[in-house]
Chain A
């Protein structure tokens, strides 16, 4: 029997699917996070140049990768919403934004705390750092623009346009260390050649990155469920849920 995936474009159908998935993603995040941090702190050796300060890498890289990835996914759902006019697509984009902004902030903050002991500076206006800061402004701008427009459908479309225009920033962040002379380190991990770092360090990095991914999905699904309840509050199925939760 073919699986009709378009069924899940309905907010009601997606609400219950997401509800079933959320706990699994949290469990995955917790397990991967625990494994990654264990490897990062207890297996990976001390760095010859940076000492133990380098251990910030595990949270910093995970957050930075997620900040870019979430924005890309957010922009994707904005495009789908604009093209196919599905309400749920816009809701998903809006649900992703706060988690993406959080990841961006964590990347910037941990980067500053790593930069101070290793570069001697909390901040420099180099290409990678500046474009990541701009990413934070784009996330905040997306959420603010949406909040500023009363009509939800117009807000969805306006914010979606902003997200799409801002999407050019993601490849800029990614290639910044290649295109410009930056203080920030170049790419150590590539799809085409062997990584230039110790295996345990790489393993820790990948595990925490996966954990961050699972966490981001869980948090975003939780948030989209709230958006669905808010936007569909006039419908019978939402009213039933509201009444049912009162009984608990």
Chain B
């Protein structure tokens, strides 16, 4: 074990800003990428359904 407690862990020997700034942003961007993919899929399928309904109505 490297850390005596959570305080030491977050401090990262004085480099906490740099370490957590790195991992924090990476985590945010990864979550954002996945969220964008999920919403893009949802929107796409809704659009497809709507155009199918319109095609059905037109018949």
Contacts and interface: CB of A to CB of B under 8 A. Distances in A.
Contact of A117 (B1, B18, B37, B40): B18
B33 A243 contact: no
Contacts of A60: 22
Instruction: Tell me whether chain B's interface is mostly helix, strand or loop, or mixed.
Output: helix
Contact of A219 (B14, B22, B25, B34): B34
A123 interface: no
Interface of A: 41-46, 51-53, 55-56, 59-60, 63, 98-99, 102, 105-106, 109-110, 113-114, 116-117, 215, 219, 222-223, 225-226, 229-230, 233, 238-239, 241-243, 245-246
Interface centre among A41, A117, A242, A243 (most CB of B within 10 A): A242
Contacts of A102: 29-30, 33
18 contacts: A43-B2, A52-B13, A52-B14, A52-B19, A53-B13, A53-B18, A59-B23, A98-B33, A113-B21, A113-B22, A117-B15, A219-B33, A222-B41, A226-B40, A229-B41, A229-B45, A241-B45, A242-B52
Contacts of B33: 98-99, 102, 219
Contact of A222 (B2, B13, B26, B37): B37
B22 A109 contact: yes
Contact of A242 (B14, B23, B49): B49
Contact of B22 (A41, A59, A223, A238): A59
B26 A59 contact: yes
B43 to A, nearest CB: 10
Contacts of B48: 229, 233, 238-239, 242
A226 B37 contact: yes
Interface in B3-41: 3, 9, 12-15, 17-19, 21-23, 25-26, 29-30, 33-34, 37, 40-41
Among A43, A52, A105, A241, chain B packs the most CB atoms within 10 A around the CB of A52
A243 B18 contact: no
Interface of B: 1-3, 9, 12-15, 17-19, 21-23, 25-26, 29-30, 33-34, 37, 40-41, 44-45, 48-49, 52
Contacts of B29: 102, 105-106
B44 to A, nearest CB: 6
A42 B12 CA distance: 12
Nearest to A110: B22
